[in-house]
Amino acid sequence: MTPEQFERLQGIFERVRSCPRADQAAQLDVECAGDATLRRVVERLLDDDERPHAVLDQPPVAAAPLGAGIDGVRPDEIGGYRIIDVVGVGGMGVVYRAEQERPRRPVALKVIRPGALTPELRRRFDREADVLGRLQHPGIASIFEAGRAETAYGEQPFFAMEFVEGRPVTEAIRDHDLDLATQLELFARICDAVQHAHEQGIVHRDLKPGNILVDAAGAPKVLDFGVARLVAGETVAATAHTAPGQLVGTLPYMSPEQVAGDPSLVDTRTDVYALGVLLCELLTGRLPHDVQEKSLPEAARIIRDEEPTRLGVLDRRYRGDLETIVATAVERDPSRRYPSARALASDVRHYCRDEPIVARPPTTLYQLGKFARRNRILVGGVAGVIIALAIGTVVSTTAFVGVSRRAEALRRSHYVKDIALAESSYRNNEYERMHEALARCPEDLRHWEWQRLTYLSDRSDLVIPAHRNAVRCLAIAPDGTWVASGGNHATGVPVADRDTTIRVWETRTGTLRLELRDHRIGVGVLAVSPSGTRLASASAKRLRDEPADAGIRLWDTTNGRLLQRIDPAVTRVAALAFDGETHLVSGGGDGRVRRHDLTTGETRVIGRHQWDVTDLAVGPDGTVASSGWEGEIHWWDRDDAIRVWPGHRPAHCRSLAARPDWSVLASCSRAEIELWNAASGVSVGRLIGHTDMIERVRFTPDGRSLVSASHDGTIRVWDPIAGVDRRVLRGHRGRVIDVAVGPDGRTVISGGVDGTVRRWSLESPGDVMTILESATELNTVRWSPDGTRVAFGGDDGIARVHDAIRGRELRRLAIPGASLYSMSWHPGGDELAIGTYDGRLIIWPVDGDRTPDTRQAHDGPVWTVAFDPAGRRLLTGGGPGTLAVWNVAERVPIHSIAGHEAPVRQAVWDAAGVMIVTVSEDGTIAGWNAGDGTPRFRFGDRTRPYTAVAFARTQTRLFVGDTTGGLRVWNITRGNVEHDLVVHESDCYGVDVSPDGRRLITSGDDHRIKVLDAETGEDLLRWTGHAGTVFQARFSPDGHAIASVGADGTARIWRTVDPVP
């Protein structure tokens, strides 16, 4: 419906409504002029207007008295489900609480009311079941079965789904008095569930508190996909017809494009709008638009034409970032909303972690533009005045700013925004979006933050563009020399364009070795024989109305020849595994597990699951373990004796893996992995870390690690004993479907929906290299001048020098009774100066066997040591406010400076070695002539104890950190503060400048490391670097890495490129 059509409809409605009821029919004749469709719409609006509270707060399923049902009679059983009571009754049907006998569990049983069984309602009911069948997420109620049952009223459609014992989300928050952080995390989990639906091409279109329940454990469940719309793949075939002008949804939660009545405008951002309304209601108890007492046309006009009330107006406590988040979600223009539910959840979680959000408040120019569009008459009336004023200011404005400066500022602003978007996308595993944001960044603005995010975006060491569509399955040769991948069909892709091949790749180079063609609808599963000479394959799950392609193929991997086809006696094979060279075990879509004799051709059923078999594992002695869609794990020995474990019931079990010694089995359901004692079937552990469904789990050959592939776009490498993930492998642009582990246990191969096969080395450095873990705090870190070594010191009194590439310790010096507080490398790289808490200065000849030289330098802690650029002098600073300059060759002081009233926390040389700058806890910054110690300048108002200082590359500016978490940028020449920033929540302990002077890093008491633009002070990237205070962070000499130490006793290196040994 266009705005003009809407305005016409509203005018007719208002004019007819103002007439006496007896005259309304005649007025309709005049207004509608024979347009029957228009007349029906107006009549419906008039009916709704006379009905109290109309559609605005009418629930889709009304509460019903216990025991009621269809026509007030509750049946005892429907479709094999025992009816317990009625949950709700609506115009469309009845929802019963029922019980399924096998497996025994409560279900919600939805049935169409007999009198309401129209063809359109039947299609909608079937579509809801189809939609729910696509969704497998812990935040969405699962469907168990759909069908038709004979009842006293004839055949009735029904579907059984997970029974959710819960309350609407608004009531749950109100009744449990949840704090803000808990409310926001609950909301973010709702967004996660909606995002999963969107990734399956499904838009809910009716998100509201009544359709989101919170169970007793505090977990949200999204319900009622009855009006959902498919927006991808099978849109044309599967989406219910929504006529232009028809309103679908619940009005207070509907977006402007929904109330416009044009279904072509509705996409995933429509649900984002509803989520924004929901968040506003959860926080304030009020809606952005107050339409409860409005007529339907007036309410729709308000939503379509008026700006939502800002969150900070409804509740002053939420001004700032939360207000911006809600405002971005409920933008009237869909292009200005969050692009996805995941992006909305990401900003909410950024807020909870006190991190920068991606959303930005609307600019003044944008707000003025909206004001002008709302007030055309007023704007037109004052346009002359504005133009006159503009003429008087244009010349001066242009002279002051300049077009080029404005353009450059805008360009930099876009760069900062894209970096924030890339970082947010990385945290949410949205790698396609991350790559797009990084690609938009201008090359001349890219620096450490861009390089770091690019490094993190893909850690694979080989990428093979394997298939046009998704890679559905993998199988790796026993010797690891090759890997086979199976191409999968894709919904909505023409048959001629589908890649249904099996391709065999050289693992080392990615070169195509063989291409195998015989499957018609995609390859669903692969298995390789123990010798590696034969490959078994079976087709993927067929699409609707496609012929079955059920045969198992057996291939010769040396030449690609098809050796034989095996009839599996089932329409779909879901799992394959070799049992030696002569037998093959298969799991079918019919739930049966079969053993095929490849020599005789005999096939024997050894057992069955209630639902589809999802995965198989076969042991050296012929033991078979299988997982089923119903959640059970079955175990057969060689004599087919069976053991059954409940496993994940009632949830689905998607994959199964056995440790090589068969002492432990691993299985996965949704986003969790369960570990089982293979002898007893007792759960021995759970691995939690993925944020979306896990597709595959596989053990490494030594059994010490478990690898998992997930729809969240990551591969995780777990320590199953410790229960933690040691590595997270990122790089696929979308869901990861399968994973295989090489025989060396050091190589992982993965395949995903992006059509790529990727190789990963588990020996390569992780996202961060932790090269030292000490039992005490580490206080200081310094790179060697050539960047090949890193030195650390801490409260244990041990100075350590490590290989910066491999991380191994090279040298150590134990200093009894000392805490090490400061270090500095000699420019030649052969000596290390060390300052201790008890006032000692140690000069350690790192190369060679010379004895360290020790001097008592100060009466208190030596907070700072630094060699001059030439390496001939060394300065030390500490308590009580003194500074000493030493002759390095003779190890004697040249002169001392007593220029502060409190300890000197850091002292630095200028690039020429002629000036020293000190910062002190007395709140002052001082400059001194290096030659004689005479003063050059003193700044500071003594209100902030200063802790750290670094020169800008120009040598005319100083970056100074303090105990309030602030960072001041001082101009030495003018003696003024150019920028006064807040960079940490409390103490800022470390400041360092990149070798080219363009970037600045700070470290602080809030556990974070920050990267800032050294020119503008803009916050570009931040991350939690340690589990405690980060005392120091330092750029490497080439600027490609940052080393940090902290109170958690760890030393870490953060890279932008992998080092070359």
Q: What digits encode the pLDDT tens for the residues 466-481?
A: 998 899 999 999 999 9
* CA angle 270–671–754, rounded 5-degree value: 65
Tokens representing residue 905 in the block: 């926390």
Give residue 548's pLDDT.
62
Give residue 55's pLDDT.
31
Is the pLDDT at 904 greater than 50? The verdict is yes
pTM listed for this prediction: 0.63
- Using alpha carbons, select from 758, 761, 720 the residue that is nearest to residue 737: 758
User: Which are the contacts of 675, defined by CB distance < 8 A and separation ≥ 6?
Assistant: 664, 665, 666, 683, 684, 685, 686, 687, 720
* CA angle 217–221–226, rounded 5-degree value: 160
The hierarchical CATH code for the domain 169-362 is 1.10.510.10
User: Which are the contacts of 432, defined by CB distance < 8 A and separation ≥ 6?
Assistant: 733, 734, 754
Residues 208, 271: Cα–Cα separation, whole Å: 10
Least confident of 302-306, 513-517, 779-783, 830-834: 302-306
How do residues 681-714 score in pLDDT, each as one tens digit? 888 999 999 988 999 999 999 999 999 999 999 9
Average pLDDT, the chain: 85
Percent of the chain with pLDDT over 90: 52
Tokens representing residue 240 in the block: 């219910």
Q: How far is CA 34 from CA 22, 25, 752, in A?
A: 19, 12, 57
Q: Which residues of 145-161 are buried (b: 16+ CB within 10 A; e: fewer)?
A: bbeebebebeebbbbbb
Number of C-beta neighbours around residue 334 at 10 A: 19
Domains of the chain by residue range: 3-50, 77-162, 169-362, 414-446, 463-622+633-644, 650-680+690-743, 768-1055
Tokens representing residue 941 in the block: 């108002």
- Confidence band (pLDDT; 50, 70, 90) for 235? very low
Residues 684, 698: Cα–Cα separation, whole Å: 17
Give residue 779's pLDDT.
97
Is the pLDDT at 492 greater than 80? The verdict is no
Tokens representing residue 129 in the block: 């079941």
Give residue 402's pLDDT.
61
416, 418, 422, 424: CA torsion to nearest 10? 70
Beta strands in 389-490 (DSSP E): 462-465, 471-476, 482-487
Q: Give the DSSP letter of residue 353.
A: T
Is the pLDDT at 436 greater than 50? The verdict is yes
**Helix segments in 285-401, DSSP class H:** 296-305, 311-314, 321-329, 341-352, 364-374, 376-400
Residues 516, 536: Cα–Cα separation, whole Å: 11
Is the pLDDT at 386 greater than 50? The verdict is no
Least confident of 364-373, 803-812, 838-847: 364-373
Residues 244, 667: Cα–Cα separation, whole Å: 48
Give residue 991's pLDDT.
98
**Residues for the chain: how many in total?**
1061
Q: How many CA atoms lie within 13 A of 230 on its CB side?
A: 22
- Confidence band (pLDDT; 50, 70, 90) for 19? confident
Is the pLDDT at 1030 greater than 90? The verdict is yes
Amino acid in position 554: L
- Confidence band (pLDDT; 50, 70, 90) for 313? confident
Number of C-beta neighbours around residue 335 at 10 A: 7
Give residue 116's pLDDT.
60
Least confident of 293-307, 622-636, 774-788: 293-307
How do residues 86-138 score in pLDDT, each as one tens digit? 887 665 678 889 998 777 889 999 887 665 666 767 777 777 777 787 788 88
- Confidence band (pLDDT; 50, 70, 90) for 237? very low
- Confidence band (pLDDT; 50, 70, 90) for 33? confident
The hierarchical CATH code for the domain 463-622+633-644 is 2.130.10.10
Residues 159, 1013: Cα–Cα separation, whole Å: 58
Tokens representing residue 113 in the block: 């009311």
- Confidence band (pLDDT; 50, 70, 90) for 53? very low
Residues 261, 1004: Cα–Cα separation, whole Å: 53
Is the pLDDT at 585 greater than 60? The verdict is yes
Pair 1036, 1042: CB distance under 8 Å: yes
- Confidence band (pLDDT; 50, 70, 90) for 822? very high
Give residue 739's pLDDT.
98
The hierarchical CATH code for the domain 768-1055 is 2.130.10.10
Is the pLDDT at 68 greater than 50? The verdict is no
How do residues 176-219 score in pLDDT, each as one tens digit? 888 899 999 999 999 999 998 888 888 888 899 988 999 888 89
Pair 710, 702: CB distance under 8 Å: no
Pair 674, 683: CB distance under 8 Å: yes
* CA angle 334–340–344, rounded 5-degree value: 100
How do residues 350-380 score in pLDDT, each as one tens digit? 888 877 788 865 544 444 444 444 455 444 5
- Confidence band (pLDDT; 50, 70, 90) for 242? very low
Q: How many CA atoms lie within 13 A of 349 on its CB side?
A: 18
Pair 946, 863: CB distance under 8 Å: no
Instruction: Give mean pLDDT, residues 493-499.
Output: 66
Report for 119-133, 275-289, 862-876: range of highest mean pLDDT: 862-876
Give residue 244's pLDDT.
41
Percent of the chain with pLDDT over 70: 85
User: Which are the contacts of 179, defined by CB distance < 8 A and separation ≥ 6?
Assistant: none
Give residue 44's pLDDT.
63
Same topology between domain 463-622+633-644 and domain 768-1055: yes
CATH topology of domain 77-162: Phosphorylase Kinase; domain 1 (3.30.200)
If one compares 1026 and 645, the residue with the highest pLDDT of the two is 1026
If one compares 805 and 650, the residue with the highest pLDDT of the two is 805
Pair 948, 991: CB distance under 8 Å: yes
Give residue 559's pLDDT.
95
Residues 904, 877: Cα–Cα separation, whole Å: 5
Q: How many CA atoms lie within 13 A of 720 on its CB side?
A: 28
User: Which are the contacts of 957, defined by CB distance < 8 A and separation ≥ 6?
Assistant: 951, 969, 970, 971, 972, 978
Is the pLDDT at 510 greater than 70? The verdict is yes
Q: Give the DSSP letter of residue 140.
A: B
Q: Give the DSSP letter of residue 961.
A: E
C-alpha 584: how far from chain center: 39
Q: How many CA atoms lie within 13 A of 667 on its CB side?
A: 33
Query: Which residues are bridge partners to 97 per DSSP?
Result: 85, 108
**Helices 321-329 and 268-284, interaxial angle, to 10°?**
140
Give residue 748's pLDDT.
98
Pair 967, 988: CB distance under 8 Å: yes
H helix or E strand, kind and range, residue 1004? strand 999-1004
Q: What is the per-residue DSSP string for 495-564?
A: GGG----EEEEETTT--EEEEE---SSBEEEEEE-TTSSEEEEEEPPPPTTPPP---EEEEETTT--EEE
